[in-house]
Copies of this chain bind each other. A is one copy, B any other.
Amino acid sequence: MNDRLTTEDVHRYFPEFVEPGLLQVIANEGRIHRFAEGGVIMDYGNYVRMLPLILEGTIKISRQADDGSELFLYYLTRGESCAMTFSCCMAAKRSEIRAVAEEDTVILGLPQPKLDEWMMRYKSWKNFVMQAYDQRMNELVRTIDQVAFQQLDERLADYVSKRAAIREDRTILSTHQAIADDLHVSREAISRLLKTMENRGMVALGRNRITLLQPS
């Protein structure tokens, strides 16, 4: 199985990369890695030595408290990269987050030592990295808004619609417990709220399955 991309592939996945030299080095240096759904791409405390560009699939990024409990932060999907990882790469720090494949996922891993150099050489790379930081920063601020300002019912509604959007499907396959973990609340609270959402005709519930009924 081939673990490289051609320059044409790189350009197809990332049309924002325009310099031929950049396409060339990404094709040369990048290595393809595949993860099955649920596969742990990076865990809390790991050292990070490569930057993942997502070619296919979706990655779930979450934060872990010291006691092991989690909090969902955001999804990354095709064409995106992970600014938190970039930051860890640069400083040779341990990861502060956990990344898990939400579905079968293919990434292109770029070796840490080159990334910084490319910033000054290729404008479109620099823009890509800056934009990645930007987007993640905004996601983090929105996460703070949610945790600090919103009630659980709103958070749950947002979570469900976001997760449905990622799947491009109105049905989510997940247990109440898994959702509770992501939102860092109790399973009972989620069960009760989902029930009231069902009573209001917002969702249909089944074992391991939630279907959005209302257009969000």
Contact = CB atoms under 8 A, between A and B. Distances in A.
A19 interface: no
A71 B144 contact: yes
A69 B148 CA distance: 11
Contacts of A178: none
A144 B144 contact: yes
A27 interface: no
Q: How many copies does the complex hold?
A: 2
Contact of A137 (B119, B133, B145, B148): B133
A34 interface: no
Contacts of A147: 144, 147-148
A63 B141 contact: yes
Contact of A71 (B96, B136, B149): B149
Interface in A173-196: 184
Interface residues of A, number: 32
A148 B63 CA distance: 10
A83 interface: yes
A123 interface: yes
Interface string A122-142: 010010001001101110110
Nearest to A183: B148
Contacts of A130: 90, 119
A7 to B, nearest CB: 22
A96 B184 CA distance: 25
A145 B65 contact: yes
A83 B65 CA distance: 25
A24 interface: no
A149 B119 contact: no
Contact of A119 (B71, B84, B119, B141): B119
Contacts of A184: 148-149
Interface in A84-131: 84, 87, 90-91, 96-97, 119-121, 123, 126, 130
Given A63-B141, A63-B148, A133-B137, 10 more contacts: A63-B144, A71-B148, A84-B141, A87-B138, A96-B138, A97-B141, A119-B120, A119-B126, A143-B144, A144-B144
